[in-house]
Amino acid sequence: MTNVLDAASPITLDEVLLTVERRREEFSAQKSVPMDVIEAFKKAGVYRAATPRRFGGDALPPSEFLRIVERISQVDASAGWVASFGSAVYLAALPLETQAALYSGGPDVVFAGGLFPVQKAERVDGGWNVAGEWKFSSGCRGADLIGVGLAGGEGTQGKPLTALLRPEQVEIVENWDVVGLQGTGSNDLRVHGQFVPDEWTFIRGGEPTVDEPLYRYPAIAYAAQVLAAVNLGTGRAALDYAIGAGSGRTGITGAPKLADRAYYRIDIAKAEAALLSARAFFYEISDEVYATVESGDSPTDKQKALLRLASTHVAKVGAAAVQAAYTLSGTAAIYDANPMQRYLRDASVVTQHAFLGDGIYDGAGAVLMDIPPSIPAFI
């Protein structure tokens, strides 16, 4: 990647990463990425990555944005997770007039969603009366726009709707008390009866109204990819730390330094090979599918399944790389001040996401063998 994410931006990605590195402990302590850091992400172009070009955005090819998330996550996984929602291609399913209003102040719009559990909403004239509580709204404190999940019906072919609200219409329930990804601020959302017009709702993963290549890319698969990329960065950070630590000091007992021990070199090399191999598969299938949609064709079911498979696989392999680095690091890694603790906690949370669970292997295997997958909306 080049330093500059957007030619007109006064802030480069490298400058943002220095800020993230300096303040990442603050993110965990406050359980959110502060607004001024979100503003820096905006200025660096992170939140225009999925904005249509017709509205002044960059509509980046997925692999370009995934590399941005990976780089940020290498410095801090929570910051990478929050930045990943710059991939909100779902919004392209809104009516064009709504998108024009949404981006009227500029293309850098921060979206956060609390989409589950989907709630039933009262149908009223011209829209919906929205009320209920939703979980896991990552980055909601820095959002310009918040989406909540509504149960679909006949008009949506059973698919859930997303209703969009302004932050002042939503109560944030401060209950993000977790061991990893603490800085994501993935709190619950509560809405006390707010009217949302039809034109500010969309079917999640529905047909886009914007005809640009990015919005022909599989939206659900992309949502999984941006989360999986966090563990690419975290795994890379952990291995880099272990490599540096192994090269630089003798053991506390006076034994030879770690790099002089065969088991250390062997396990580092195995973890490196596994991470780089999974990473290559991850980006290769992303570029293949984007080339397909860019040419005007629709991605095949197999391609969609491989996107999902690559995402789950890279999340698991990234976490395994962290675990390997932690184990090799010995006693020093048990101290809370050791960065390996942060890598271990963050990577373990990424793999718990429903989009990245072991069931995805089953779904992908089913598609590869021409069997209908049992997971709803898998492809």
Q: pLDDT digits over 6-28, tens only? A: 444 479 999 999 999 999 999 99
Overall average pLDDT of the 323-347 stretch:
95
Q: Are residues 332 and 193 in the same domain?
A: no
Is the domain of 322 the same as that of 364? yes
Q: Are residues 52 and 118 in the same domain?
A: no
Together in a domain, 87 and 121? no
In a domain, 308, yes or no: yes
Instruction: Share the mean pLDDT of the chain.
Output: 94
CATH number, domain containing residue 58: 1.10.540.10
Tell me how many domains the chain contains: 3
- One domain, residues 248 and 346: yes
168 within domain boundaries: yes
The answer to whether residue 125 is domain-embedded is yes
Note whether 352 and 227 are same-domain residues. Answer: yes
Mark whether 350 and 279 lie in a shared domain: yes
What was the pLDDT predicted at 253?
59
Structural domain harbouring 38: 13-91
- Say if 98 falls within a structural domain: no
Question: Is there a domain that residue 311 lies in?
Answer: yes
Decide if 39 contacts 47 (C-beta within 8 A): no
Same domain, 363 and 276: yes
Where is the domain boundary, 91, 120, 147?
A: 91
Whether 121 and 262 map to the same domain: the answer is: no
Q: For residues 158 and 187, which has the higher predicted lDDT (pLDDT)?
A: 187
Dump pLDDT digits (tens) for 80-93: 999 999 999 999 99
Q: How far is CA 248 from CA 51, 66, 251, 259, 348, in A?
A: 45, 32, 10, 8, 27
- Its pTM stands at 0.94
* Domain at 266, CATH number: 1.20.140.10
